[in-house]
Amino acid sequence: MQARTTVVVDVGDVPVALSTGDPTLAAVLQQRFHRFLRPSAAPAFHFDISVIPEDAEDGDRDEDLQVRSEGGLWRLRRGDFRAEWDPDTRRGWIHQRLSPYAADSVLRIVHTLLLSRERGFLLHASSVVRNGRAFLFTGPSGAGKTTIARLAPSDAVVLTDEISYVRRVGDRYMAYGTPFAGELSDSGEPISAPVAALFGLAWAADPVHEPLAEGTAVQILMRNILFFAADPALSRHLLDTACDFAGAVPAFRLAFAPDARVWSTIQ
Amino acid sequence: MSDVFFTRAGKLAARKVAGEVVILRADDSSLYVLNPVAAAVWEAADGRTPLGAVVRDVICRDYDVDPETALRDASEFLAALAAQGILHTSEQPLPPAGQALDGARA
């Protein structure tokens, strides 16, 4: 019998154990999540992962993601994986192709479902900590999320350049580092800080830095929050959280050229 | 069109923010943002108040607009949201949002 390897990935103070008997996948996961491994943490959830053989005929590899709930059990499927997760038993399984992206996607989905009930969300945004305060930079692909993170001063810490993790803790919103990165980028740092401001990004030769109305901030948030489940109750939680966040955190429109001086306006 | 009754569809999340109404449709995460006039129609969607009464008693009272123009604009807005499945409309009074809607047009 092949030994199993368990990788505990802690994002947002929620440790999730990923257990597999495939040593190659175990190495891939350890590399993917290397900054977020917490071997000694007690897992809040546990997934057993099996690998689909490369030559197996197992459906359409280009199948789009589907997330649905049946009797409290979440079923997830995409071209490169199938998964189930039972929040009550805190266990699940993933049957996936040999790549880091399937387990990465399952973790993203699990965290969005958990956060939706905890006044939190995953956001298409880079986030950077400076002087103990987190700044979120959101926008669609190509808006400059990665660029502004790379332009950050040397005393800043990048939490992520792609997917930000935000959750209300007490009377403030906290941003946490995430390992969720694109194919060409690196994971963030596993620290957290209170959110000081949200910026909606755009490109412009002449910089623009102006406050956003609360309603506009809600719209920007809702267009960039990751959400996978067609569930009315979770949708209400999410909209409530976006409105609460917009009322608690100042938001700005930031149009900029790729020049490090843009950081002189971010306070 | 002034005798059209309308009510909100189910599987929606809606919040009023700074005078606008933000609506999130649960089945596909589509987002709709209603300006203050459209928000007034949305908030009056109780299934029992006809559109003509909403235009006369709310929109023409709160906004500087003539009744004919207001009714035309509100009718177009209502048709657009009904086409998107956000509101249900009927020539008869409707049950409140989330209840059976036999015969209603979505």
Contact criterion met (CB < 8 Å) for A243 and B22: yes
Which of A90, A115, A140 delimits the end of a domain? A115
A197 and A86 together in one domain: no
Q: Are residues A63 and A191 in the same domain?
A: no
Task: Count other Cβ atoms within 10 Å, centred on residue A170.
Answer: 7
Q: What is the pLDDT along chain A (267 residues), one digit of tens a residue?
A: 568 999 999 999 999 999 999 999 999 999 999 999 999 999 999 999 999 988 777 677 788 999 999 988 999 999 999 999 999 999 999 999 998 899 999 999 999 999 998 999 999 999 999 999 999 999 988 899 999 999 999 999 999 999 999 999 999 999 999 999 866 578 899 999 999 999 999 988 888 999 999 999 999 999 999 988 778 888 889 999 999 999 999 999 999 998 888 999 897
Domain boundary among A115, A136, A163: A115
Per the prediction, chain B carries an average pLDDT of 86
| Both tokens assigned to A194 | 């209170």
Q: How many Å apart are CA A217 and CA A223, to the nearest integer? A: 10
Query: CB burial class (10 A; 0-12, 13-18, 19+) of residue A88?
Result: exposed
Would an 8 Å CB–CB cutoff place A230 in contact with chain B?
yes
User: Are A103 and A145 contained in the same domain?
Assistant: no
The A residues from 208 to 227 touching B (CB cutoff 8 Å) are 213-215, 218-219, 222-223, 227
* Domain identity same for A125 and A111: no
Distance (Å) from the alpha carbon of A58 to chain B's nearest alpha carbon: 27
A239 CB neighbours in chain B (<8 A) are: 13-15, 22, 24
* Highest mean pLDDT: which range of A109-123, B2-16, B21-35: A109-123
The predicted structure's pLDDT at residue A10: 98
Q: Let me know whether A70 and A140 are in one domain.
A: no
Strand ranges, E, within A63-162: 66-70, 73-78, 81-86, 91-96, 120-130, 133-138, 157-160
CA atoms within 13 A on the CB side of A109: 28
A140 touches B: beta carbon within 8 Å: no
Q: Are residues A76 and A108 in the same domain?
A: yes
Cβ within 8 Å, pair B15-A246: no
The whole-angstrom separation of Cα A30 and Cα A18 is 10
Pick A219's closest partner by Cβ from B22, B28, B29: B22
What is the Cα–Cα distance from A129 to A245, expressed in whole angstroms?
18
Task: Please report where in the chains the tokens 């996936």 appear, as a residue.
Answer: A96
Q: Does B31 touch chain A (CB under 8 A)?
A: yes
Burial of A72 (0-12, 13-18, 19+ CB in 10 A): exposed
Neighbours of A182 (CB within 10 A): 11
Q: Which residues on neighbouring strands pair with residue A133, listed in sequence order?
A: A130
Q: Does A149 share its domain with A240?
A: yes
Percent of chain B residues past pLDDT 90, beyond the cut: 66
Choose the closest CB to A213 out of B11, B13, B18. Answer: B18
- What's the CATH number where A219 sits? 3.90.228.20
**Based on the domain organization, do A202 and A231 belong to the same domain?**
yes
Q: Are residues A100 and A147 in the same domain?
A: no
> Quick one: which H or E segment has residue A169?
strand A163-169
Are B40 and B54 spatial neighbours (Cβ–Cβ below 8 Å)?
A: yes
Shared domain check, A109 and A170: no
**Which of B41-47's residues contact partners 24+ apart within 8 Å by CB, and which partners?**
B41/B6, B41/B74, B41/B77, B41/B78, B42/B8, B42/B14, B42/B81, B42/B87, B43/B16, B45/B6, B45/B7, B45/B8, B45/B87, B45/B97, B46/B7, B46/B96, B47/B5, B47/B6, B47/B7, B47/B93, B47/B94, B47/B95, B47/B96, B47/B97
Dist CA A217 CA B74 (whole Å) = 27
Tell me how many degrees the CA angle A27-A228-A63 measures, rounded to the nearest 5.
65
C-alpha A176: how far from its chain's center?
9
Residues of chain B in contact with residue A116, where contact means CB-CB under 8 angstroms, are: none
Give B-chain residues touching A236 at CB under 8 angstroms.
13
Among B8, B21, B24, the residue to mutate for chain A (most A Cβ within 10 A):
B24
Residues A169 and A223 both lie in one domain: yes
Do A232 and B26 make contact, defined as CB atoms within 8 angstroms? yes
Q: Do A219 and B13 touch (CB under 8 A)?
A: no
pTM, full prediction:
0.88
The count of domains in chain A is 2
Query: What span, in angstroms and rounded, lies between the C-alpha atoms of A133 and A174?
Result: 9
The DSSP output letter for A263 is G
Q: What is the per-residue pLDDT for A58?
A: 64
The residue among A115, A146, A173 that closes a domain is A115
User: Are B14 and A243 within 8 A, CB to CB?
Assistant: no
Q: Beta A45-51 vs A91-96: how paired, if at all?
A: parallel
User: In this predicted model, what pLDDT tens digit does every residue of A143-202 receive, in sequence order?
Assistant: 999 999 999 999 999 999 999 999 999 999 999 999 998 665 788 999 999 999 999 999
Q: Which domain holds residue A15?
A: 5-115
